[in-house]
Amino acid sequence: MKKKFHVTVVDAKEFFEYTPGVLRCFVKPAHFDSLSFTLQPVLERSIGVKYIWGEVKTLDGPGRVAHVKPMFSDSIDQIGFDYCIICSGCNFGPFANWGESLWFPTIHEEAHKVSMWKHIDERFIEGRRRHILEEYHKLNDLNSKSAEILVVGAGFIGVEWVTELNHYFPKLQCTIIDFLPTCLGPLPPSAAEYCSEYMHSVGIKEYYNQKYNKDDPAFWSGIGFKEKLPDYQIYVCIGVKASNYFMPKETLSDKGPGGGGWIHFNWQLQVTNKPAPGTDIGDTWADGRVFAVGDCNYGCIGNPPNKEGKGGFQLQPIPKISYPGEEQALHACKNVKKMAFSPGKALMKTWWPWGAGMFATSLGPHDACFVMAANHRKGSGYMVNWWIPAALQKEIIETTKINECADGLIGKLIWYFVHHTPVHLWGEGHRVLFPCCYSKD
Protein backbone atom coordinates (compact mmCIF):
# COMPACT_ATOMS: atom_id res chain seq x y z
CA MET A 1 0.00 0.00 0.00
CA LYS A 2 2.84 2.40 0.76
CA LYS A 3 3.79 2.73 -2.94
CA LYS A 4 0.52 4.51 -3.76
CA PHE A 5 -0.75 5.77 -0.40
CA HIS A 6 0.46 7.66 2.65
CA VAL A 7 -0.02 4.89 5.21
CA THR A 8 -0.36 5.47 8.96
CA VAL A 9 -0.56 2.61 11.45
CA VAL A 10 -2.10 3.31 14.88
CA ASP A 11 -1.58 0.80 17.69
CA ALA A 12 -2.18 1.13 21.42
CA LYS A 13 0.91 -0.92 22.25
CA GLU A 14 4.52 -0.33 21.25
CA PHE A 15 5.26 -3.88 20.16
CA PHE A 16 4.19 -6.74 17.92
CA GLU A 17 3.37 -10.07 19.52
CA TYR A 18 2.72 -13.33 17.67
CA THR A 19 -0.45 -14.39 19.48
CA PRO A 20 -0.57 -18.04 18.24
CA GLY A 21 2.71 -18.74 20.03
CA VAL A 22 2.22 -16.75 23.21
CA LEU A 23 1.11 -19.72 25.36
CA ARG A 24 4.65 -21.05 25.52
CA CYS A 25 5.97 -17.73 26.79
CA PHE A 26 4.25 -18.22 30.16
CA VAL A 27 6.02 -21.54 30.72
CA LYS A 28 9.27 -20.54 28.98
CA PRO A 29 9.65 -16.74 29.28
CA ALA A 30 12.71 -16.56 27.01
CA HIS A 31 10.43 -17.56 24.13
CA PHE A 32 8.84 -14.10 24.21
CA ASP A 33 11.95 -12.54 22.70
CA SER A 34 11.52 -14.66 19.57
CA LEU A 35 7.84 -13.73 19.24
CA SER A 36 7.99 -9.97 19.62
CA PHE A 37 9.65 -6.78 18.42
CA THR A 38 9.04 -3.06 18.88
CA LEU A 39 6.93 -1.58 16.10
CA GLN A 40 8.49 1.81 15.45
CA PRO A 41 11.83 0.68 13.97
CA VAL A 42 10.17 -1.90 11.72
CA LEU A 43 7.23 0.21 10.54
CA GLU A 44 9.02 3.53 10.08
CA ARG A 45 12.62 2.62 9.27
CA SER A 46 12.26 -0.70 7.47
CA ILE A 47 8.80 -0.72 5.89
CA GLY A 48 8.56 3.06 5.50
CA VAL A 49 5.11 3.95 6.87
CA LYS A 50 4.05 6.26 9.70
CA TYR A 51 3.44 4.74 13.14
CA ILE A 52 1.45 6.35 15.96
CA TRP A 53 1.65 4.77 19.40
CA GLY A 54 -1.79 5.60 20.72
CA GLU A 55 -5.34 4.37 21.21
CA VAL A 56 -8.19 5.12 18.81
CA LYS A 57 -10.93 6.42 21.07
CA THR A 58 -13.59 6.93 18.39
CA LEU A 59 -13.69 6.45 14.65
CA ASP A 60 -15.76 8.99 12.72
CA GLY A 61 -16.17 7.21 9.40
CA PRO A 62 -18.50 9.69 7.69
CA GLY A 63 -16.19 12.55 8.76
CA ARG A 64 -13.10 10.48 7.86
CA VAL A 65 -11.42 11.26 11.15
CA ALA A 66 -9.91 8.99 13.79
CA HIS A 67 -9.79 10.44 17.29
CA VAL A 68 -6.53 9.13 18.75
CA LYS A 69 -5.04 9.57 22.19
CA PRO A 70 -1.25 9.26 21.74
CA MET A 71 0.87 7.69 24.44
CA PHE A 72 2.18 10.29 26.95
CA SER A 73 -0.54 12.79 25.95
CA ASP A 74 -3.66 13.92 27.79
CA SER A 75 -5.30 15.34 24.68
CA ILE A 76 -7.00 13.74 21.69
CA ASP A 77 -5.50 14.14 18.22
CA GLN A 78 -7.61 14.07 15.08
CA ILE A 79 -6.10 11.98 12.30
CA GLY A 80 -7.76 12.43 8.92
CA PHE A 81 -7.93 9.64 6.36
CA ASP A 82 -9.29 8.84 2.92
CA TYR A 83 -9.58 5.12 3.59
CA CYS A 84 -9.36 3.12 6.80
CA ILE A 85 -8.79 -0.60 7.40
CA ILE A 86 -9.66 -1.81 10.91
CA CYS A 87 -7.45 -4.69 12.08
CA SER A 88 -8.03 -4.42 15.83
CA GLY A 89 -8.48 -8.11 16.56
CA CYS A 90 -10.34 -9.38 19.61
CA ASN A 91 -9.87 -10.44 23.22
CA PHE A 92 -10.00 -13.92 24.74
CA GLY A 93 -11.61 -13.51 28.17
CA PRO A 94 -15.37 -13.99 27.61
CA PHE A 95 -16.21 -13.62 31.32
CA ALA A 96 -14.26 -10.39 31.87
CA ASN A 97 -15.89 -7.01 31.19
CA TRP A 98 -13.11 -5.99 28.83
CA GLY A 99 -12.27 -9.51 27.66
CA GLU A 100 -9.03 -9.46 29.63
CA SER A 101 -6.94 -12.63 29.61
CA LEU A 102 -3.34 -13.80 29.66
CA TRP A 103 -3.36 -14.47 25.95
CA PHE A 104 -3.47 -10.83 24.83
CA PRO A 105 -2.01 -7.76 26.56
CA THR A 106 -4.36 -5.29 28.27
CA ILE A 107 -3.87 -2.20 26.12
CA HIS A 108 -7.06 -0.12 26.40
CA GLU A 109 -6.84 2.79 28.82
CA GLU A 110 -10.23 2.14 30.46
CA ALA A 111 -9.55 -1.59 30.71
CA HIS A 112 -6.28 -0.94 32.51
CA LYS A 113 -8.11 1.00 35.24
CA VAL A 114 -10.07 -2.12 36.25
CA SER A 115 -7.50 -4.71 35.23
CA MET A 116 -6.64 -7.74 37.35
CA TRP A 117 -3.05 -6.72 36.66
CA LYS A 118 -3.27 -2.93 36.93
CA HIS A 119 0.21 -2.82 38.52
CA ILE A 120 1.59 -3.73 35.06
CA ASP A 121 1.25 -1.56 31.95
CA GLU A 122 1.23 -3.94 28.99
CA ARG A 123 1.25 -1.17 26.41
CA PHE A 124 5.03 -1.31 26.93
CA ILE A 125 7.01 -4.35 25.81
CA GLU A 126 8.71 -4.44 29.20
CA GLY A 127 5.31 -4.41 30.90
CA ARG A 128 4.25 -7.41 28.82
CA ARG A 129 7.50 -9.18 29.70
CA ARG A 130 6.94 -8.47 33.40
CA HIS A 131 3.47 -9.98 33.22
CA ILE A 132 4.83 -13.12 31.56
CA LEU A 133 7.54 -13.45 34.22
CA GLU A 134 5.02 -12.92 37.02
CA GLU A 135 2.78 -15.72 35.72
CA TYR A 136 5.79 -17.98 35.19
CA HIS A 137 6.90 -17.58 38.81
CA LYS A 138 3.35 -18.25 40.00
CA LEU A 139 3.27 -21.48 38.01
CA ASN A 140 6.72 -22.45 39.26
CA ASP A 141 5.52 -21.99 42.84
CA LEU A 142 2.40 -24.08 42.18
CA ASN A 143 4.57 -26.75 40.59
CA SER A 144 6.75 -26.97 43.72
CA LYS A 145 3.57 -27.64 45.71
CA SER A 146 2.25 -30.24 43.22
CA ALA A 147 -0.89 -28.11 42.95
CA GLU A 148 -4.02 -28.94 41.00
CA ILE A 149 -4.82 -26.97 37.84
CA LEU A 150 -8.10 -26.82 35.92
CA VAL A 151 -8.20 -25.79 32.26
CA VAL A 152 -11.72 -24.95 31.06
CA GLY A 153 -12.19 -25.54 27.35
CA ALA A 154 -10.63 -28.31 25.27
CA GLY A 155 -10.41 -26.45 21.99
CA PHE A 156 -6.99 -26.00 20.44
CA ILE A 157 -6.06 -23.20 22.91
CA GLY A 158 -7.03 -25.27 25.96
CA VAL A 159 -5.28 -28.39 24.67
CA GLU A 160 -2.11 -26.43 23.87
CA TRP A 161 -2.12 -24.74 27.27
CA VAL A 162 -2.65 -27.85 29.37
CA THR A 163 0.04 -29.78 27.46
CA GLU A 164 2.51 -26.91 27.81
CA LEU A 165 1.83 -26.82 31.57
CA ASN A 166 2.27 -30.57 31.81
CA HIS A 167 5.57 -30.56 29.94
CA TYR A 168 7.31 -27.63 31.63
CA PHE A 169 5.81 -28.13 35.11
CA PRO A 170 5.50 -31.92 35.44
CA LYS A 171 4.50 -31.86 39.11
CA LEU A 172 1.26 -30.00 38.38
CA GLN A 173 -1.87 -32.14 38.48
CA CYS A 174 -3.66 -30.97 35.35
CA THR A 175 -7.31 -31.48 34.45
CA ILE A 176 -9.08 -30.28 31.31
CA ILE A 177 -12.84 -30.13 30.72
CA ASP A 178 -15.21 -29.26 27.89
CA PHE A 179 -18.98 -29.21 27.37
CA LEU A 180 -18.55 -31.12 24.09
CA PRO A 181 -18.11 -34.93 24.00
CA THR A 182 -14.47 -34.70 22.79
CA CYS A 183 -11.56 -32.30 22.66
CA LEU A 184 -11.06 -30.21 19.50
CA GLY A 185 -14.83 -30.56 19.00
CA PRO A 186 -15.30 -29.07 15.49
CA LEU A 187 -12.18 -30.74 14.03
CA PRO A 188 -11.92 -34.26 12.56
CA PRO A 189 -12.19 -37.23 14.95
CA SER A 190 -8.67 -38.37 14.06
CA ALA A 191 -7.18 -35.14 15.48
CA ALA A 192 -9.34 -35.32 18.61
CA GLU A 193 -8.33 -38.94 19.22
CA TYR A 194 -4.64 -38.17 18.71
CA CYS A 195 -4.68 -35.27 21.18
CA SER A 196 -6.74 -37.21 23.71
CA GLU A 197 -4.38 -40.17 23.55
CA TYR A 198 -1.42 -37.86 24.12
CA MET A 199 -3.03 -36.19 27.14
CA HIS A 200 -3.98 -39.57 28.61
CA SER A 201 -0.42 -40.87 28.12
CA VAL A 202 1.12 -37.98 30.10
CA GLY A 203 -1.39 -38.11 32.94
CA ILE A 204 -3.69 -35.19 32.10
CA LYS A 205 -7.22 -35.90 33.34
CA GLU A 206 -9.99 -35.28 30.80
CA TYR A 207 -13.69 -34.70 31.46
CA TYR A 208 -16.14 -34.05 28.65
CA ASN A 209 -19.84 -33.19 28.50
CA GLN A 210 -19.13 -30.95 31.49
CA LYS A 211 -20.59 -27.46 31.79
CA TYR A 212 -18.33 -25.13 33.78
CA ASN A 213 -19.97 -23.87 36.97
CA LYS A 214 -17.36 -22.92 39.55
CA ASP A 215 -19.96 -22.18 42.25
CA ASP A 216 -21.61 -25.61 42.13
CA PRO A 217 -20.10 -28.23 44.52
CA ALA A 218 -21.55 -30.99 42.32
CA PHE A 219 -19.50 -29.69 39.40
CA TRP A 220 -16.24 -30.03 41.32
CA SER A 221 -17.00 -33.48 42.68
CA GLY A 222 -18.05 -34.58 39.18
CA ILE A 223 -14.59 -33.86 37.80
CA GLY A 224 -12.62 -35.42 40.64
CA PHE A 225 -11.94 -32.45 42.94
CA LYS A 226 -12.58 -32.58 46.67
CA GLU A 227 -13.24 -28.84 46.83
CA LYS A 228 -13.46 -25.73 44.71
CA LEU A 229 -10.15 -24.47 43.34
CA PRO A 230 -9.14 -20.83 43.84
CA ASP A 231 -9.38 -18.66 40.74
CA TYR A 232 -5.60 -18.47 40.28
CA GLN A 233 -5.54 -22.24 39.66
CA ILE A 234 -8.24 -22.06 36.96
CA TYR A 235 -7.54 -21.11 33.34
CA VAL A 236 -10.55 -20.37 31.14
CA CYS A 237 -9.73 -21.07 27.49
CA ILE A 238 -13.14 -20.75 25.85
CA GLY A 239 -14.48 -18.21 23.45
CA VAL A 240 -13.56 -14.71 22.37
CA LYS A 241 -14.88 -11.23 23.09
CA ALA A 242 -15.11 -8.14 20.89
CA SER A 243 -13.00 -5.07 21.63
CA ASN A 244 -14.44 -2.59 19.13
CA TYR A 245 -15.07 0.10 21.74
CA PHE A 246 -14.16 2.89 19.34
CA MET A 247 -16.89 2.06 16.81
CA PRO A 248 -20.40 3.59 16.81
CA LYS A 249 -23.17 1.28 18.04
CA GLU A 250 -24.97 1.27 14.71
CA THR A 251 -22.11 -0.67 13.13
CA LEU A 252 -21.86 -3.35 15.85
CA SER A 253 -23.71 -6.63 16.18
CA ASP A 254 -26.16 -7.45 18.94
CA LYS A 255 -25.27 -11.14 18.66
CA GLY A 256 -22.17 -13.24 18.35
CA PRO A 257 -19.46 -14.68 20.61
CA GLY A 258 -19.02 -12.97 23.95
CA GLY A 259 -22.34 -11.15 23.71
CA GLY A 260 -21.89 -9.33 20.40
CA GLY A 261 -20.14 -6.07 19.59
CA TRP A 262 -18.60 -7.32 16.33
CA ILE A 263 -18.33 -5.06 13.28
CA HIS A 264 -20.88 -5.71 10.52
CA PHE A 265 -19.47 -5.94 7.00
CA ASN A 266 -20.47 -6.80 3.44
CA TRP A 267 -18.99 -9.06 0.78
CA GLN A 268 -16.39 -6.40 -0.07
CA LEU A 269 -15.36 -6.19 3.63
CA GLN A 270 -16.72 -2.65 3.91
CA VAL A 271 -18.20 -1.71 7.29
CA THR A 272 -21.99 -1.54 7.28
CA ASN A 273 -24.75 -0.50 9.62
CA LYS A 274 -26.79 -3.18 11.37
CA PRO A 275 -28.89 -5.10 8.84
CA ALA A 276 -32.60 -4.26 8.94
CA PRO A 277 -34.91 -7.05 10.12
CA GLY A 278 -35.26 -9.69 7.43
CA THR A 279 -32.06 -8.67 5.63
CA ASP A 280 -28.55 -10.05 5.76
CA ILE A 281 -26.43 -7.00 4.87
CA GLY A 282 -26.85 -3.46 6.17
CA ASP A 283 -26.30 -0.16 4.39
CA THR A 284 -22.68 0.70 3.69
CA TRP A 285 -21.20 2.94 6.38
CA ALA A 286 -18.93 5.93 5.69
CA ASP A 287 -19.40 5.73 1.90
CA GLY A 288 -17.68 2.34 1.91
CA ARG A 289 -14.31 3.85 2.77
CA VAL A 290 -13.87 1.91 6.02
CA PHE A 291 -13.07 -1.81 5.99
CA ALA A 292 -13.01 -4.37 8.82
CA VAL A 293 -10.80 -7.45 8.51
CA GLY A 294 -9.95 -10.42 10.67
CA ASP A 295 -11.03 -11.04 14.24
CA CYS A 296 -12.69 -7.64 14.76
CA ASN A 297 -15.51 -8.25 12.29
CA TYR A 298 -18.68 -10.31 12.70
CA GLY A 299 -17.03 -13.25 10.95
CA CYS A 300 -20.08 -14.11 8.85
CA ILE A 301 -22.79 -12.62 6.68
CA GLY A 302 -26.39 -13.46 7.41
CA ASN A 303 -27.94 -15.46 10.21
CA PRO A 304 -28.25 -19.15 11.08
CA PRO A 305 -31.29 -21.07 9.73
CA ASN A 306 -34.51 -20.64 11.70
CA LYS A 307 -36.39 -23.46 13.42
CA GLU A 308 -38.03 -24.43 10.13
CA GLY A 309 -34.61 -24.68 8.49
CA LYS A 310 -35.19 -21.67 6.27
CA GLY A 311 -32.60 -19.01 5.61
CA GLY A 312 -29.01 -19.45 6.67
CA PHE A 313 -25.63 -17.81 6.41
CA GLN A 314 -24.54 -16.29 3.11
CA LEU A 315 -20.96 -16.40 4.36
CA GLN A 316 -20.41 -19.12 6.95
CA PRO A 317 -18.76 -18.12 10.27
CA ILE A 318 -14.99 -17.89 9.87
CA PRO A 319 -12.72 -19.06 12.71
CA LYS A 320 -11.00 -16.23 14.54
CA ILE A 321 -7.45 -17.30 13.73
CA SER A 322 -4.59 -15.48 12.05
CA TYR A 323 -4.75 -16.72 8.46
CA PRO A 324 -8.27 -15.47 7.58
CA GLY A 325 -7.37 -12.03 8.94
CA GLU A 326 -4.37 -11.81 6.64
CA GLU A 327 -6.38 -13.05 3.67
CA GLN A 328 -9.12 -10.51 4.31
CA ALA A 329 -6.54 -7.75 4.71
CA LEU A 330 -5.26 -8.58 1.23
CA HIS A 331 -8.81 -8.40 -0.18
CA ALA A 332 -9.45 -5.06 1.56
CA CYS A 333 -6.21 -3.57 0.22
CA LYS A 334 -7.16 -4.58 -3.32
CA ASN A 335 -10.55 -2.93 -2.89
CA VAL A 336 -9.04 0.27 -1.53
CA LYS A 337 -6.83 0.48 -4.63
CA LYS A 338 -9.82 -0.08 -6.91
CA MET A 339 -11.83 2.63 -5.17
CA ALA A 340 -8.94 5.09 -5.35
CA PHE A 341 -7.66 4.47 -8.87
CA SER A 342 -10.43 2.66 -10.74
CA PRO A 343 -13.67 4.37 -9.63
CA GLY A 344 -16.72 2.59 -10.92
CA LYS A 345 -14.94 -0.73 -11.25
CA ALA A 346 -16.60 -3.55 -9.33
CA LEU A 347 -14.89 -4.40 -6.05
CA MET A 348 -13.73 -7.96 -5.43
CA LYS A 349 -15.80 -10.18 -3.16
CA THR A 350 -14.26 -11.94 -0.22
CA TRP A 351 -14.84 -15.61 0.59
CA TRP A 352 -14.40 -18.31 3.21
CA PRO A 353 -10.60 -18.61 2.89
CA TRP A 354 -8.90 -21.96 2.47
CA GLY A 355 -6.46 -21.17 5.29
CA ALA A 356 -9.35 -20.88 7.75
CA GLY A 357 -9.41 -24.68 7.70
CA MET A 358 -5.81 -25.15 8.82
CA PHE A 359 -5.12 -25.80 12.51
CA ALA A 360 -1.73 -26.61 14.03
CA THR A 361 -2.19 -27.77 17.62
CA SER A 362 0.90 -28.12 19.82
CA LEU A 363 1.15 -30.89 22.39
CA GLY A 364 4.15 -29.56 24.23
CA PRO A 365 7.34 -28.69 22.33
CA HIS A 366 7.92 -32.15 20.81
CA ASP A 367 4.51 -33.22 19.54
CA ALA A 368 1.65 -31.68 17.58
CA CYS A 369 -1.00 -32.40 14.98
CA PHE A 370 -1.86 -30.46 11.84
CA VAL A 371 -5.33 -30.39 10.25
CA MET A 372 -6.10 -29.17 6.73
CA ALA A 373 -9.26 -28.68 4.68
CA ALA A 374 -11.59 -28.13 7.63
CA ASN A 375 -14.65 -25.99 7.01
CA HIS A 376 -17.76 -24.87 8.89
CA ARG A 377 -19.12 -28.42 9.06
CA LYS A 378 -18.39 -30.24 12.31
CA GLY A 379 -15.78 -32.98 11.99
CA SER A 380 -14.54 -31.82 8.59
CA GLY A 381 -10.90 -31.78 7.52
CA TYR A 382 -8.02 -34.23 7.62
CA MET A 383 -5.14 -34.70 10.03
CA VAL A 384 -2.24 -34.72 7.58
CA ASN A 385 0.76 -34.36 9.89
CA TRP A 386 1.51 -35.33 13.48
CA TRP A 387 4.19 -36.10 16.10
CA ILE A 388 7.66 -34.51 15.72
CA PRO A 389 7.20 -33.53 12.03
CA ALA A 390 4.09 -31.53 12.96
CA ALA A 391 5.91 -29.87 15.86
CA LEU A 392 8.73 -28.88 13.50
CA GLN A 393 6.19 -27.64 10.96
CA LYS A 394 4.62 -25.35 13.56
CA GLU A 395 8.05 -24.02 14.54
CA ILE A 396 8.77 -23.22 10.89
CA ILE A 397 5.41 -21.47 10.49
CA GLU A 398 6.03 -19.41 13.62
CA THR A 399 9.61 -18.45 12.73
CA THR A 400 8.91 -17.48 9.13
CA LYS A 401 5.71 -15.59 9.99
CA ILE A 402 7.48 -13.45 12.59
CA ASN A 403 10.29 -12.85 10.11
CA GLU A 404 7.73 -11.68 7.53
CA CYS A 405 6.03 -9.35 10.03
CA ALA A 406 9.43 -7.87 10.87
CA ASP A 407 9.97 -7.18 7.13
CA GLY A 408 12.44 -10.06 6.73
CA LEU A 409 13.17 -11.26 3.20
CA ILE A 410 12.82 -15.02 3.76
CA GLY A 411 9.49 -14.68 5.56
CA LYS A 412 8.10 -12.35 2.90
CA LEU A 413 9.08 -14.71 0.07
CA ILE A 414 7.45 -17.70 1.76
CA TRP A 415 4.20 -16.04 2.83
CA TYR A 416 3.73 -14.04 -0.36
CA PHE A 417 3.19 -17.33 -2.14
CA VAL A 418 0.78 -18.54 0.51
CA HIS A 419 -1.49 -15.51 0.09
CA HIS A 420 -1.24 -15.43 -3.71
CA THR A 421 -2.06 -19.06 -4.44
CA PRO A 422 -3.86 -18.92 -7.82
CA VAL A 423 -6.23 -21.85 -7.15
CA HIS A 424 -7.76 -22.73 -3.78
CA LEU A 425 -8.38 -26.45 -3.31
CA TRP A 426 -10.89 -25.99 -0.48
CA GLY A 427 -12.66 -23.16 1.27
CA GLU A 428 -14.86 -21.01 -0.96
CA GLY A 429 -12.31 -19.16 -3.09
CA HIS A 430 -12.77 -21.49 -6.04
CA ARG A 431 -16.51 -20.71 -6.10
CA VAL A 432 -15.71 -17.00 -6.47
CA LEU A 433 -12.95 -17.50 -9.03
CA PHE A 434 -14.85 -20.07 -11.11
CA PRO A 435 -18.59 -19.40 -10.52
CA CYS A 436 -19.56 -20.98 -13.86
CA CYS A 437 -18.56 -24.39 -12.51
CA TYR A 438 -21.08 -24.36 -9.65
CA SER A 439 -24.84 -24.23 -9.36
CA LYS A 440 -26.51 -21.61 -7.21
CA ASP A 441 -27.22 -24.32 -4.62
Helical spans, DSSP H, in 189-229: 189-201, 217-222
Q: ∠ CA(185), CA(187), CA(190), 5° rounding?
A: 105
Q: What confidence score (pLDDT) does residue 95 get?
A: 85
Distances (CA, A) of 143 to 109, 205, 334, 392: 34, 17, 51, 27
Coil/strand/helix, residue 18:
coil
Each residue's pLDDT, cut to its tens digit, for the chain (441 residues) gives 999 999 999 999 999 999 999 999 999 999 999 999 999 999 999 999 999 999 999 999 999 999 999 999 999 999 999 999 999 999 998 888 899 999 999 999 999 999 999 999 999 999 999 999 999 999 999 999 999 999 999 999 999 999 999 999 999 999 999 999 999 988 899 999 999 999 999 999 999 999 999 999 999 999 999 999 999 999 999 989 999 999 999 999 999 999 999 999 999 999 999 999 889 999 999 999 999 999 999 999 998 887 776 778 999 999 999 889 999 999 999 999 999 999 989 999 999 988 888 999 999 999 999 999 888 888 888 999 999 999 999 999 999 999 999 999 999 999 888 777 766 666 665 555 555 544 444
The tally of CA atoms less than 13 A away on the side-chain side of residue 374 is 24
Distance of alpha carbon 316 from alpha carbon 288, whole angstroms: 22
- DSSP element (H, E) containing 412: helix 409-418
CB atoms within 10 A of CB 5: 15
Distance of alpha carbon 23 from alpha carbon 102, whole angstroms: 9
46 residue type, one letter? S
Q: What confidence score (pLDDT) does residue 186 get?
A: 85
Q: What confidence score (pLDDT) does residue 425 get?
A: 61
Coil/strand/helix, residue 104:
strand
Instruction: Give 151: exposed, middle or buried? Use CB within 10 Å, 0-12, 13-18, 19+.
Output: buried
Q: What confidence score (pLDDT) does residue 96 get?
A: 87
Q: What confidence score (pLDDT) does residue 119 get?
A: 95
Domain over 8-92+242-349 is classified CATH 3.50.50.60 = yes
- DSSP element (H, E) containing 206: strand 205-207
Compute the chain's Rg from CA coordinates.
22
Strand partners, 52: 10
User: With the CA atoms of 257, 395, 352 and 87 taken in that order, what torsion angle do they form, in degrees rounded to the nearest 10?
Assistant: 60
Give backbone dihedrals phi and psi of 17, rounded to 5 degrees, phi first. Answer: -135, 130
Distance of alpha carbon 242 from alpha carbon 257, whole angstroms: 8
Give backbone dihedrals phi and psi of 210, rounded to 5 degrees, phi first. Answer: -120, 120
Q: What confidence score (pLDDT) does residue 440 get?
A: 46
Distance of alpha carbon 101 from alpha carbon 93, whole angstroms: 5
Q: Residue 405's closest CA among 43, 20, 10, 27?
A: 43
Distance of alpha carbon 48 from alpha carbon 41, whole angstroms: 9
Cα–chain-centroid distance for residue 196?
A: 24
Cα–chain-centroid distance for residue 208?
A: 24
CB atoms within 10 A of CB 101: 21
Give backbone dihedrals phi and psi of 411, rounded to 5 degrees, phi first. Answer: -60, -40
Q: ∠ CA(367), CA(373), CA(375), 5° rounding?
A: 115
